[in-house]
Amino acid sequence: MVIKKRICFVCLGNIVRSPLAKNLFLHQANAANVVEKYEVDSAGTSAYHIDERPDSRMRRVAASHGLIYDGEARRFTKRDLDYFDLIIVMDKENIFDLEYLISTDEHRDKIHLLREFDPSAEEGAIVPDPYYSGIHGFEETYRIIERSTRGLLETLEMDKLGDFES
């Protein structure tokens, strides 16, 4: 039996960046024949879009790259901090928004910016939220998340983040 590493991708509303990251990661893991090693979800720090589908603009951009996905937005909970091995956030505001849920150093150690795994990013770089931008912003965000999730998968497969407790 494979012990799965549990990963939750987090953004503000869980309709643009985090569902894309979840689905890109799963797509890349499937292509690498390692998808069975991971349990992946996404969530938002706000309740703005609970039960809504992912943003249609991002789904259109993803589909133009061959990635078709759907889902429903949900809000991140304290239980998620206990359950998931890794909490991968899109920006520093997401970290700030999670602060009220963090009660242990173990919780804090699970949280990482997604762009930590982007080989072309500077330290502390974030995934921009394209919600109020044109389609070019969605395309740029797609490319950033694609690079970053690929880097995360490579890091996990090389076991650079160490073994996770399940």
Instruction: Indicate if the pLDDT at residue 7 is higher than 60.
Output: yes
Question: Is domain 5-154 in CATH 3.20.20.70, yes or no?
Answer: no
The catalytically annotated residue of 11, 55, 80, 118 is 11
User: What pLDDT was estimated at residue 162?
Assistant: 58
- Torsion angle of alpha carbons 130, 133, 139, 141, nearest 10°? -20
Express each pLDDT in 29-44 by its tens digit: 999 999 999 999 999 9
Question: How far apart are alpha carbons 72 and 89 in whole angstroms?
Answer: 18
Whether residue 166 is predicted with pLDDT greater than 60 in this model: the reply is no
Please report which confidence band the pLDDT of residue 151 belongs to, taking 50, 70 and 90 as the band edges. very high
Catalytic residue, candidates 6, 8, 17, 115? 17
Q: Check: CB of residue 124 under 8 Å from CB of residue 116.
A: no
What's the pLDDT at 126? 98
80-89: pLDDT as tens digits: 999 999 999 9
Rounded Cα gap, residues 110 and 15, in angstroms: 22
Section 19-28 average pLDDT:
98
129 is a catalytic site residue: yes
Q: Which of 53, 57, 75, 129 is catalytic?
A: 129
Candidates 13, 163, 155, 1; CA nearest to 85 is 163
Whether 8 is a known active-site residue: answer: no
Q: pLDDT by residue (tens digit) across 94-103?
A: 999 999 999 9
* Residue 120 CB contacts under 8 Å (≥ 6 apart), including other chains: 147
Note the pLDDT of residue 140: 98
- Give tens-digit pLDDT for 97-150: 999 999 999 999 999 999 999 999 999 999 999 999 999 999 999 999 999 999
Q: What is the mean pLDDT of the chain?
A: 95
Gap between the Cα atoms of 154 and 109, Å rounded: 20
